[in-house]
Amino acid sequence: MFINITDNKEAANKGSSAGLVNYLEKENRIDHKQKPECWFNGQRIRIEPYEVMRSIDGNVAKLGKDDAKFFLVNISPSQKEIRFLKEQFGEQGSIEQMKGFAVRVMDAYARNFNRNGVNGKEDLLWFAKLENYRYYSHNDPEVKQGLKQRGERKEGEQMHVQVIVSRKDITNKIKLSPMNTSRGKNETHSKKMGQFDRVAFKQSGESLFDSLFGFDRQLKDTMAYANIQKNGEISQREQLGVLVEGASQNYESRSVANELAQGVADGLFTTTGEMPSAVGKTAAGFLEVMLEPMYMGGANIVAESEIEEKRKRKRKSRGRTISR
């Protein structure tokens, strides 16, 4: 699950939302055979483009010329996740499920601010649009190499949802910026903008998808795994290696490993031995069983290496004695 928030460069969000709204209508213009996709939010499922633009552009009280007026949230399931939805709910059913999922994601978006008066999607001004395809742009390597044409559809499952969310809350009084990086550390700034942890928000989308649809996510498909592989310290990668081995045992151990991987990514553990205390009693039992052979194996390896090291030292000592 890939979820990101686009700031002004791509969304051109310091002025009117008209350009972005018009751009997100492209599939309705291109494919006349396909049933038009309407805009939706938590209250309505058929919203006209002009309503979206009018509402977003009118919700900008006390925002300056150079202030962001809205943000674009991109909710993109992986091809594996899309195939899973289609297998479970069918072609049209998967579209409806994806829309429902987007509504829940915006609930998580609101709660992530940890701001009084912003408790859920109803407190935000936002509009979402489901898109079935993605298209090659001039920045894609395939276009630069002449293999694909700009505007040509990309292959594979590409269903995703784009959300335009106002910088101001539904009352047009509270400023909310998901680009705020204080995470609550700057109390004064947080009171003005709200706290927002983008990593936690993205993680919540992945967890929500798994719990909502019963998706059996492999550890190597998690956001935590990718973050540790890319940015993790040596100790975190070692802890992740233990979890990867344990996750291969069975479903229970994989579930526990996925849960703990997030803790590893957040730097909560100094050693693998600290992991069982971070989960529930039942999960801790699975974890101890999962890790026991690894502890034993690790102990044996250490013991053997120490013995070999002692042998080397003895051989060197004897060599020095003989030379004398």
- Tell me what pLDDT residue 5 has: 93
30 and 127 share one domain: yes
233 and 155 share one domain: no
- Tell me what pLDDT residue 299 has: 38
274 and 145 share one domain: no
190 and 308 share one domain: no
288 and 227 share one domain: yes
46 and 101 share one domain: yes
Q: Is 185 strand, coil or helix?
A: coil
246 and 101 share one domain: no
- Name the DSSP letter for residue 129: E
Which H or E element spans position 284? Answer: helix 281-323
CA atoms within 13 A on the CB side of 306: 6
Domain harbouring 40, CATH code: 3.30.930
- Tell me what pLDDT residue 189 has: 56
Residue whose tokens read 């802890």 = 239
Give the integer Cα–Cα distance in Å for 243 and 229. 13
Q: Last residue of a domain, which of 193, 209, 225?
A: 209
Q: Last residue of a domain, which of 209, 244, 260?
A: 209
* Total domains present in the chain: 2
201 and 227 share one domain: no
**Predicted model pTM:** 0.80
194 and 97 share one domain: yes
Q: Last residue of a domain, which of 163, 192, 209?
A: 209
23 and 50 share one domain: yes
273 and 187 share one domain: no
Average pLDDT per block of 10 residues along the chain, 324 residues long: 78 89 91 85 95 98 93 96 97 96 97 92 97 91 93 93 97 91 57 75 92 92 90 87 77 77 84 70 58 48 43 56 46
**Cβ within 8 Å of residue 300, ≥6 positions away:** none
279 and 314 share one domain: yes
Give the integer Cα–Cα distance in Å for 43 and 164. 15
| Parent domain of 257 | 217-323
